[in-house]
Structure 1
Amino acid sequence: MLNPSIFLQMEQGKLGENYDLTQVIDAIPWNQDSLITAITQDIKTKDVLMLAWVNRDALLETLTTKQVCYWSRSRQCLWRKGESSGHRQKLVEARLDCDGDSILFLVEQSGAACHTYRPNCFYIGLVGNHATILTQPMI
């Protein structure tokens, strides 16, 4: 049963207070495609590695296996990061934002985070009237 007020309850929550995970996941305001955005950040460097999407199954698999799983909008299937490249993301911590419509994955990144083999997906700098490549592939 949907309970969006759980996020309102958590706004008033005290440090260390716990809430039922199933109720929280049930209250996530999934978009029309049953997805929320996932921001992935390196736990050590704090670099933002990528932005992707998760559905309920991807989120539950990530929380259970500690290997990050996303939803591929282009392939319309679960996308287990590193399954073909070997460049995996080990989940250290997962955090929802205050209204539950995006998630932050703090990970230990093994290899490149981007499919271009760059350390992260944010390698195109926008300055003035130029777009500049900021990092080289890791291969």
Structure 2
Amino acid sequence: MDKVSNISFWLLTMIIPLSGVIFTVILLIVVDFITGSYASYMNGIGISSKRIGHTISKLFIYNLVIISAHFLETNIVDEIPFLKIIAGFIAITEIRSILENYTKIYGVNPFKVLLQFIKTSSFKEILTFLSSHQRIKKIEKEK
């Protein structure tokens, strides 16, 4: 039992500096799963065990990659911020997926709305744009 607790303590001391990054990645994966499940529900698509398994594998694989990047950065090449680069790519991937789910739920692409908002000078035009997309989505659903 002493060997197991010693190994556990050693592993925890190696992973504790990554707790913020790991927590953020787990949070993004959970939010992606929730929004994806809700998008499936809203579009009448069932939630399958294959998709849940995909989420669970992402939890393990992403965190293993983050831990590997941390060890690579601290023990081999400390000049290149591998952890920040890899964690950034993972975060961007998950945020993109969350925004795609948002588009599936509400029928509005947040990037297009943001670009429209930047291009137009009137906030009223943006509200008109959003409401027209909501009406189109509602009409399509009723068919």
User: Do they superpose with TM above 0.5?
Assistant: no
Larger Rg: 2
Q: Which has the higher contact order (CA 8 A, sep 6+)?
A: 2
Q: TM-score when scaled to structure 2?
A: 0.30
Give the strand-richer structure, 1 or 2. Answer: 1
Give the helix-richer structure, 1 or 2. Answer: 2
